[in-house]
Structure 1
Amino acid sequence: MSEPGAIVERPNPLIRLRGITRVYGEGTAAFQALRGVNLDIAHGEFVAVMGPSGSGKSTAMNIIGCLDRPSDGQFWFRGVHVESLNRDERARLRRRYFGFVFQGFNLLARTSAQENVELPLLYRGESAARRRELAAQALAAVGLTGWEHHTPAELSGGQQQRVAIARAIVTEPEVLLADEPTGNLDTARSREIMDLLWRLNAERGITVLMVTHEPDMAAYAQRIVRFVDGVVATDEPNPHPARPTEPEKA
């Protein structure tokens, strides 16, 4: 078992964090969310990140996804020092390589599933025809062909999260960051979403980092990293990852 703060080295990692700290506020009001995080993620891994509330797991994910900056330490992505990039450079990196899935779906309420999925492509400047084509492919990949013109209010929670995943993968990201992706779903819908994430990792080679409080969901990952008090407390392989339930044969 790894010791708290120990470095589990991986050769040529896609993501490498060394001594990452994050402090919010100043003086007596300062709060240290991360206290020297060391973490390697290899290309194509499925990693579950666990820990109690306030342990720093979501802060670490936000830094990896270029949504936040570390106060100190070094962060490499594909060999590039991300902490040295300016705001525009980090935004370009985020748009090119990362997809995001959140607990709350974050869909535009009065916009169809297809239009929600097209949104990242709009920011990229893709043509309308190309946006429609890629969005349709992404929705098909998550099993929502035929639901393109439905609004979120016309979809179940599981379907809304599938739309959110389609939006995350429509740009063909290298890394999918999922923060409590099953937190608002019942058990059956949660398993459907985990089956989908598993297939995106296994069949498309997308690196998946997932924050979760649920051991049953973490069981799908190849590694389980646990945060405590702003550091990596344990980083262990999962010897028997869960697999999707195969459909019954007729």
Structure 2
Amino acid sequence: MTSPGASATPLIRLRGITKVYGAGNTAFQALKGVDLDIEQGDFVAIMGPSGSGKSTAMNMLGCLDVPSGGEYLFRGVHVESLSRDERARLRRRYFGFVFQGFHLLARTSALENVELPLIYRGEPATQRHAAARAALEQVGLKGWEHHTPGELSGGQQQRVAIARAIVTEPQVLLADEPTGNLDTQRSHEIMELLWRLNVERGITVLMVTHEPDMAAYARRMVRFVDGQVASDERNPHPHLMPEGASEGAGHVA
């Protein structure tokens, strides 16, 4: 389903995407012809019951898996035709990932955790340190650089994970149940942070969630049912929209 008012060349375009696991009598079709357009600067909440295909769709969008059929275009490039190494390079350049379980290295400082993607890129140490410090400051953790995950609250650990995801300056941030391990107050703090990264920095945010109050921060809500897009709706009043901000803008000055 195409978003109302979508441009001719969206950042992401899915057409007829299918995904089948297994073969013969044990085959399971997780996605059944998904059509979806995502514009640069959008904030999309992907929802649906367990087994609906939302997590499979997220894996496709993040280039972590390949479809069984259909077309996936990212910036006009046919992702389904790329090799494993080409998809890995695409992920490193354009995508950041945030998970429910944080996935931080336990005996490593916040600064070192955030530096990891830059190490994989081969960035010099001086540049890594500066970029990681800046990312931690952006998520409200200035002064916490040398604390290990065990010395941080759940909300702070998720902030470190978000800093790690944005330190490479990605165009797209994929968040899989980012508030699933947090209490209500910390959940709203993390959602406000994601919302501000979208509004102020223009990062496209794609978030899987089962919580309507978390989805309320998104500009758009896409619901999956039985491997298909059942609905695709604009949120007329994204949570915390400040005075003077445009709902359709990718950033504010």
Please classify the TM superposition score into its range, dividing by the shorter chain length.
Answer: over 0.9
Counterpart check, 1:118 vs 2:115: yes
Partner of 1:3: none
5+ residue gaps, structure 2: 244-253
Question: Aligned to 1:43, what secondary structure does the other structure show?
Answer: coil
Q: Which residue type is aligned with residue 92 of structure 1?
A: R
Per-residue deviation at 1:117? Answer: 0.3
Pairwise CA distance, 1:245: 9.0
Q: CA deviation at 1:233?
A: 0.2
Q: 1:180 aligns with which of 177, 181, 201?
A: 177
Mapping 1:218-233, distance limit 5 Å: 218-233=215-230
* Whole-angstrom CA distance in 1 between matches of 2:107 and 2:67: 36
For residues 242 and 21 of structure 2, the distance between their equivalents in structure 1, rounded to whole angstroms, comes to 43
How many angstroms does 1:229 deviate by? Answer: 0.3
Give CA-to-partner distance per residue, 1:68-88, whole Å, 9 cap, x none: 000100000001111011111
Q: Which residue matches 1:142?
A: 139
Counting only pairs closer than 5 Å after superposition, residues 68-107 of structure 1 correspond to structure 2 as 68-107=65-104
237-246 or 181-190, which deviates more = 237-246
Number of the residue aligned with 2:248? none
From 192, 195, 208, the equivalent of 2:192 is: 195
8 Å CA contact 1:195, 1:244 repeated in 2: no
Kept after mapping to 2: 8 A contact 1:113/1:149: yes
Counterpart-to-counterpart distance in 1, 2:125 and 2:237: 44
Give the secondary structure class of the aligned counterpart of 1:181. Answer: coil
Match for residue 243 of structure 1 among 227, 240, 248: 240
Whole-angstrom CA distance in 1 between matches of 2:101 and 2:28:
26
Contact 2:15 2:35 in 1 (8 A): yes
Instruction: Name the SS for the 2:51 alignment partner.
Output: coil
**TM-score (norm. length: structure 2):** 0.93
Shift of 1:31: 1.0
Q: Does 1:108 align with 2:114?
A: no
Residue deviations 1:178-229 (CA, integer Å, cap 9, x gap): 0000000000000000000010000000000000000000000010000000
Q: CA RMSD in A?
A: 1.3
1:63 corresponds in structure 2 to 60
1:27 has 2:11 as partner:
no
Q: How many residues were matched structurally?
A: 241
Helix, strand or coil at the partner of 1:122? helix
Give the Cα–Cα distance (whole angstroms) in 1 for the partners of residues 37 and 118 of structure 2: 30
Cα distance, 1:28 vs structure 2: 1.1
Q: 8 Å contact 1:198–1:244 — kept in the other structure?
A: no
- Matches of 2:198 and 2:44 in 1, distance apart? 10
TM-score with structure 1 length normalisation? 0.94
Residue 64 of structure 2 aligns with an amino acid whose one-letter code is L
Q: Cα deviation per residue 1:25-74 (whole Å; 9 max; x = unaligned)?
A: 11111111101111000000011000001101111111111100001000
Q: What residue identity is the alignment partner of 1:189? A: R
How far is the alpha carbon of 1:244 from its aligned partner? 6.9
In structure 1, the partner of 2:209 is: 212
Structure 1 residues 244 and 151, CA, compared in 2 at 3 Å: closer, same or farther?
Answer: farther
| 1:13 alignment partner in structure 2 | 10
Where does the alignment leave 5 or more consecutive residues of structure 1 unmatched? 1-5
Distance in structure 2 (CA, Å) of the matches to 1:36 and 1:218: 24
SS at match of 2:165: helix
**Percent of residue pairs bearing the same amino acid type:** 78
Aligned to 2:45: 48
Q: Which 4+ runs in 1 deviate beyond 6 A? A: none
